[in-house]
Amino acid sequence: MKLLIVGGVAGGASAAARARRLDEQAQIILFERGPDVSFANCGMPYYIGPEITDRQKLLIVTPERLHERFNIEVRTQSSVEAIDRAAKSIRVRDLRSGREYVETYDKLILSPGAAPIRPPLPGLELPGIFTLRNLQDMDQIRAAVDAKPHAAVVIGGGFIGLELVENLRKRNVPTTVVELQNQLLPPFDAEMTTPIAQEITAQGATLILGDSAEGFVPHVSGVEVRLKSGRSLPAGLVVLGVGVRPESRLAVEAGLEVGPRGGIRVDDHLRTSDPDIFAVGDAIEIKDFVTGEPAQVPLAGPANRQGRIAADNACGRDSSYRGTQGTAIVGVFQRSAALTGAAEKTLRRSGRPYHKIYIHPANHAGYYPGAQGMTLKVLFEPQSGKLLGAQGVGGAGVDKRIDVLAMAIQAGMTVFDLEEAELAYAPQFGSAKDPVNMVGFVGAGLLRGDHPQIAVDDFLAQAEQSGGTSQALLLDVRTPQEFAQGHIPSAQNIPIDVLRGRLDELPRDRQIIAYCQVGMRGYLATRILRQSGFDVVNLSGGYKTYELFRPRALNQS
């Protein structure tokens, strides 16, 4: 068996090693356009910053290692120019010599990856404007940082953009991030990114949302970024992080099927429309595990697993890919944001019914020093309670809860199952009622009718419809001190501990929306009032959730 693999990073290198383990006799040749294979592309922002100091560490597996250990022939600086499907061969160009040659295959695995989008803007070719895809890009950006630029502009507030902002700030470069959308981290629902926006600005970066670059002109300090809004930002260094586009040219030219957004079409065995050609990684169109819809999700974990599965099938096994859940995380200074499964915006777009809840737990027992807060948002099916998606933002421990919820989504579990989850508790690590249990309690309470809730955005929409103030009575059950420090306009304050004695102050002819800081006291208020005959719901996640939708700084302006 002669197996050719195009692309030597995550998916391609995984496929090559897996194929060798399955078939000691196969001839395996790996082609890579760049000089490196299997490098740690997720680590690159941290080498531009101060965290990773040894560049060698980013070379996870060298061509020599792949050859010695796995008997894989690696041809770097070799660009695969064309596939001749009829002849089962590829045409390769050696970028050093310029020589072209043909290599035949029995099976072919494509792992060409995705290229950073370079929008066709005037001045894009000016020095000082970079994208970040490989170690050579990284070296250039790092050199630009070493030259102590007076300012940097990162265009695009996605995962890589924010990792760059963190690392540029840690190298003391004044940094502005410009994002086209009105939120950072577009895969997340907007309100969940509020703490990240606050963290970015608290760490001294400038944040411009809802704006984009129109062009670049030379400037005494390097380059000037012209924004659509009319603003202009002079910078010694500009990095474009506005997304990636599948490198599917080779596949398209070979007549392989490609999806509407350019991803190579594969079946659940990762086979393309040609049965001898497989494709993996950022270049393919995958099935969204939750919605079942086609999607493009450029992530390292799925790419690695796809490489294994494609190799299995290329070697004659029967191995299938369950789809991509889209579990991802980004660290931003002392905070992190993670998600898994479907976002609310995705569910809304596809018209799928859902419930959502918010909680604001601490990562571990409050009585043990160093507890850090987080916000979890969880989406689930209305009747069954089946989990559809989860997002977390906060300090330590967000990664753990999203991983646990990712497992629950994979298993098809419900909010009722989360009530019963038994997670490891000691005061440094969690709580006797873990945040995951709390998700279960709040979600199951909603479904059982014990704990009727209204989402903050639904409340805000209702209030807007009725001219700015809610028809319902807004009941703040926090202490007078908390109330004085900030509350939702028009709210009435009756602290939970005196509520039972003041029921006669409340209306029986209209709805009451109770709220507290995070939702716990609001829940108890809801229980008390419902059992006394009031029409009451709890504002899910309380004032803290309100502040995600209406951040204080914006509130005051």
Task: Please report how close the Cβ of residue 214 comes to its own copies at its closest, in angstroms.
Answer: 32
What residue ranges in 242-308 does DSSP mark as E strands? 244-246, 264-265, 277-279, 284-287, 294-295
Q: How near is the Cβ of 159 to its own copies at its closest, in Å? A: 8
Q: Kindly identify the residues of this chain, within the stretch 436-475, that bind its own copies according to CB under 8 A.
A: 436-437, 450
Say whether residue 503 binds its own copies (CB under 8 A). no
- What is the H or E stretch that residue 252 is in? helix 249-253
**Min. distance of Cβ 315 from its own copies in angstroms?**
11
Q: Specify whether the CB–CB gap between 544 and 482 falls below 8 A.
A: no
Could you say which of 384, 428, 466, 490 contacts its own copies (CB under 8 A)?
428
Q: How far is the CB of 54 from its own copies (least distance, A)?
A: 8
| Count of residues engaged in binding its own copies, rule: CB under 8 A | 88
**Judged by CB under 8 A, does residue 502 bind its own copies?**
no
Of the two residues 236 and 392, which places its CB atom closer to its own copies in the complex? 392
Over its C-alpha atoms, the chain yields an Rg (Å, rounded) of 26
Q: Tell me if 371 sits within 8 A of 235, measured CB to CB.
A: no
Active-site residue, selected from the candidate residues 22, 42, 60, 407? 42
505 near its own copies, judged by CB under 8 A: no
CB of 451 to its own copies, least distance (A): 9
Map the footprint of its own copies across residues 468-497, applying CB under 8 A: 496-497
Distance in angstroms (rounded) separating the CA atoms of residues 428 and 370: 9
Applying CB under 8 A, which of residues 345, 500, 502, 508 lies at the interface with its own copies? 500
Q: Which residues pair with 129 in a beta bridge?
A: 238
367 binds its own copies, rule: CB under 8 A: yes
Residue with tokens 């004032």: 543
Binding mask 387-406 for its own copies (x = CB under 8 A): ------------xx-xxx-x
Assess contact for 211 and 196: CB atoms under 8 A: no
Q: Which is nearer to its own copies, 251 or 362 (CB)?
A: 362
Q: Taking the complex as a whole, how short is the minimal distance between the CB of residue 132 and its own copies, in angstroms?
A: 15
CA–CA separation, 262 and 294 (whole Å) = 12
Give the chain's length: 557
Determine the Cα angle at 135 with ends 29 and 113, to 5°: 50
Considering the rule CB under 8 A, would residue 331 count as an interface residue with its own copies?
Answer: yes
Among 157, 161, 236, 302, binds its own copies (CB under 8 A): 302
Query: Which of positions 71-100 make contact with its own copies (CB under 8 A)?
Result: 71
CA-CA-CA-CA torsion sign (443, 449, 455, 458): positive
Of the candidates 98, 116, 110, 93, the residue with the CA atom closest to the CA atom of residue 7: 110
Is 536 an interacting residue with respect to its own copies (CB under 8 A)?
no
Task: Candidates 82, 115, 207, 421: give the one binding its own copies (CB under 8 A).
Answer: 421
Q: Is 207 in the site for its own copies (CB under 8 A)?
A: no
Question: Judged by CB under 8 A, does residue 434 bind its own copies?
Answer: yes
Site for its own copies in 111-170 (CB under 8 A): 159, 163
Q: Does 315 participate in catalysis according to the annotation? A: no
Please tell me the distance from the alpha carbon of residue 108 to that of residue 2, in angstroms, as a whole number.
9
Q: Are strands 27-31 and 2-6 parallel, antiparallel or unpaired?
A: parallel
Q: Which is nearer to its own copies, 216 or 523 (CB)?
A: 523
Which of 98, 230, 318, 422 is close enough to bind its own copies by CB under 8 A? 422
In the complex with its own copies, the residue whose CB is nearer, 228 or 500, is 500
Q: Which is nearer to its own copies, 40 or 207 (CB)?
A: 40
Q: Say how far apart CA 302 and CA 307 lie, in whole Å.
A: 8
Q: How many CB atoms lie within 10 A of CB 188?
A: 23
Tally of helices (H runs) and strands (E runs) in the chain: 18, 31
- Convert residues 269-298 into a mask of x (bound to its own copies by CB under 8 A) and - (unbound): --------------------x---------
* Complete DSSP assignment for 368-433: STT--BEEEEEEE-TTT-BEEEEEEEESTTHHHHHHHHHHHHHTT-BHHHHHT------TTT--SS
- Tokens linked to 201: 């600005």
- Contact flag: residue 57 with its own copies (CB under 8 A): yes
Three-class secondary structure of residue 27 per DSSP: strand
Going by their DSSP bridges, the two strands 222-227 and 232-235 should be labelled as: antiparallel
- Residues 335/195, Cβ–Cβ less than 8 Å: yes
Of 175, 193, 248, 340, the residue at the interface with its own copies (CB under 8 A) is 340
The C-alpha atoms of residue 400 and residue 361 are separated, in whole angstroms, by 13
Q: Tell me if 22 contacts its own copies by CB under 8 A.
A: yes
Among 31, 46, 358, 546, binds its own copies (CB under 8 A): 46
Closest separation in Å from C-beta 53 to its own copies:
8
Q: Is 1 one of the binding residues for its own copies (CB under 8 A)?
A: no
Active site (catalytic) residues = 42
